[in-house]
Structure 1
């Protein structure tokens, strides 16, 4: 019975060794744990010890095994002070060194080390103590603070391992982790199962929200047509408004030139035909008596005629048109067809027009294609209007200059 007494120290000794282990680990982690280790911190170790104590009590462990379990819980992450990957093995060495200094039984030290070994991902987790410690270590996935602790782990991996995750990637990895995780013991399953399932559900919801936010952000950055944005609509509205204003300005300027040159033509023709039927014939006596005036009057007449013709062509209604299949099944998606312009859709039957408009309203990309096509041909019409208007003004200006010069020369000739 003596070996058994050696393996199971009295209650006072167990309580004392745990107090000493708590003090030692607290000081060790506070002084030597790297600052970037924000998840596997002293707070995590204390949480694991707390959960291990409860699991051990629920599992009905005797005092000796409960002590070994709690000692393993205190030391299981101590190795982080020196190494990250494989810290469990360094934790075992630190536990052995300290417990040996305290005169702890060698067999119990071996049990503590073996219990810590079970927390390594590549080591078997088979004994009851190993499974209880592993469940206590992973109890966070069945607690309400899972998501807060997950963010600490994310920060720790980024600073320590250089692993960076987008919000979607992190949410996906956490959901995969929860789906693949399980508790080893019945007591842990009973204790954490309800919150564990709730965490899986919330993680799934968070992933959906994160993916939705990411998609929305991408659409805003790329300006996709999946959901038209106010900026796009404002752009089209502004472009249509500008085209209409420019067209109205061109028509007003053309009408002004038509009125002005029409008056000039009327005055010139009236003047040339004055006193017709007299001895001078069909021309005004002034022209007959001063034939040199024929040149400036003729220039003015030609100028007014050329200018008014250009202005009339500018103000003349223009309908762009082009050939395309009237019964094409893809009328709305044909980028050469503009169902929004009467010059195109008046060539369609009512049924074909309704069919094309239904296609247009059902496909947002087709709608924008038609609007872009409409703006393009509005610009084409404006280009023609302003070219003719420029010609009309140029003829008028050049004609007036030539008329004035020729009239001055005629006066000098007479003098």
Structure 2
């Protein structure tokens, strides 16, 4: 058993010099974005390493090595973020060598620092003690405050952004997979460590509840519709009705225009037919005049026919079983449109409407289906309207060109 003298905290001059060196180095060169891995964090790790080393009854030599490793374990952050442990080993070795520290003890200190890297194993007592000291924050009351500092540091240094819920999940996963390696650390931190896990679980549930509530406020739900959904459907119905009215108005204009045009042409030709000699004289003098008149007549006829088809009522309907327990939830059946429900008996229609009013999912399904088929009708209307206008435009151009040719031919 070791004597009391061997387990007292090491107070060699080298420790004072190491503290002064690291303090000056961090104050001068440590990036300000490192709000978690700061001089304060290093000082805490040194303090905890001393406490754990003393509780583990280390010899004065090993305790000195442990404390020196604690002072230098984050020194590499001044040059590199990821993999800073290896840079810390180099810096510790160079600084200790300059001061004539024994080479074998320098190797021990460097190996101890190496164990703090996430991919390195902690095998020796010194490595395990330093690892526990470095991770001691998860077993302390200020764990959550320090976690927010780490979150801010990762965002600025690594570009990793977390929502409150994501960060709570990340922290809980970390606590559930982490563990202390030494008996001294378990005795010192285990109680608070378990309390932190419980608190983190509560925090995660709280943040998830808030996020869900916020999402429902923004998007609403089918079970509890919000004003946004109602406004969306109202706007869509209004837009469909306006577009349908516009299509009918444009089709009506085209019907009237071409009807008048055809009436004039037919009336003119009819009058001339009563004067066969005059009409024959006209076409005999310039027979090419029959071409523009024919083109104009065909144009008017084609345009008016497609315009009439556009304005013609179109009722979409489907065949289904008149007695169906799922009539209100069938995605192809729209009980809100007369073209569908007129095929049903009164009892079936009343039953379906009652089911829609009772189940909001069925209501939204029918409204969406109704809008879909309205869109189909609009698509047909505007396609025919476009054809009507295209025929009229092309026909007028051809008529004008042929008339000019006829005039040139006459001259």
| Residue of structure 1 equivalent to 2:274 | none
2-side partners of 1:44 and 1:33: how far apart?
13
Q: Contact 1:345–1:353 at 8 Å: present in 2 too?
A: no
Q: Structure 2-normalised TM-score?
A: 0.59
Which of residues 117, 126, 144 in structure 2 aligns to 1:120?
117
2-side partners of 1:61 and 1:188: how far apart?
14
Which of residues 69, 73, 93 in structure 2 aligns to 1:72?
69
Q: Contact 1:75–1:92 at 8 Å: present in 2 too?
A: yes
Which of residues 129, 132, 136 in structure 1 aligns to 2:133?
136
Q: Contact 1:332–1:360 at 8 Å: present in 2 too?
A: no
The alpha-carbon distance between structure 1 residues 374 and 130, as it changes in their structure 2 partners (threshold 3 A), is: closer
The alpha-carbon distance between structure 1 residues 329 and 160, as it changes in their structure 2 partners (threshold 3 A), is: same
1:184 maps onto 2:185 in alignment: no
How far 1:71 moved relative to its partner?
Answer: 1.3
1:231 maps onto 2:246 in alignment: no
| Residue of structure 1 equivalent to 2:328 | 332
Which of residues 31, 34, 37 in structure 1 aligns to 2:31?
34
How far 1:109 moved relative to its partner?
Answer: 2.6
2-side partners of 1:17 and 1:224: how far apart?
66
| Residue of structure 1 equivalent to 2:363 | 367
2-side partners of 1:11 and 1:104: how far apart?
21
Which of residues 149, 156, 160 in structure 2 aligns to 1:159?
156
Deviates more, 1:343-352 or 1:142-151: 343-352
Deviates more, 1:49-58 or 1:23-32: 49-58
How far 1:204 moved relative to its partner?
Answer: 3.1
The gaps in structure 1 that reach 5 residues or longer are 1-7, 241-319, 378-415
The alpha-carbon distance between structure 1 residues 347 and 54, as it changes in their structure 2 partners (threshold 3 A), is: same
The alignment covers a number of residue pairs equal to 296
1-side partners of 2:316 and 2:104: how far apart?
97
2-side partners of 1:13 and 1:131: how far apart?
19
Cα RMSD, aligned residues only: 4.1
- CA radius of gyration, larger in: 1
The alpha-carbon distance between structure 1 residues 356 and 324, as it changes in their structure 2 partners (threshold 3 A), is: farther
- Residues 322-381 of structure 1 show CA distances to partners (whole Å, capped at 9, x for unaligned) of 7765422222224676768999599657698457634652443x223446789999xxxx
**Superposition pairs for residues 261-276 of structure 1, below 5 Å?**
none
The gaps in structure 2 that reach 5 residues or longer are 238-314, 374-411
The alpha-carbon distance between structure 1 residues 334 and 78, as it changes in their structure 2 partners (threshold 3 A), is: same
The alpha-carbon distance between structure 1 residues 80 and 376, as it changes in their structure 2 partners (threshold 3 A), is: closer
Task: Give 3-state SS (helix, strand or coil) of 1:14's partner.
Answer: coil
Task: Give 3-state SS (helix, strand or coil) of 2:120's partner.
Answer: coil
- Residues 6-27 of structure 1 show CA distances to partners (whole Å, capped at 9, x for unaligned) of xx99979734332222222111
The alpha-carbon distance between structure 1 residues 114 and 335, as it changes in their structure 2 partners (threshold 3 A), is: closer
1:149 maps onto 2:146 in alignment: yes
| Residue of structure 1 equivalent to 2:86 | 89
The alpha-carbon distance between structure 1 residues 187 and 339, as it changes in their structure 2 partners (threshold 3 A), is: same
Task: Give 3-state SS (helix, strand or coil) of 2:11's partner.
Answer: helix
| Residue of structure 1 equivalent to 2:202 | 205
- Residues 285-340 of structure 1 show CA distances to partners (whole Å, capped at 9, x for unaligned) of xxxxxxxxxxxxxxxxxxxxxxxxxxxxxxxxxxx997765422222224676768
The alpha-carbon distance between structure 1 residues 10 and 96, as it changes in their structure 2 partners (threshold 3 A), is: farther
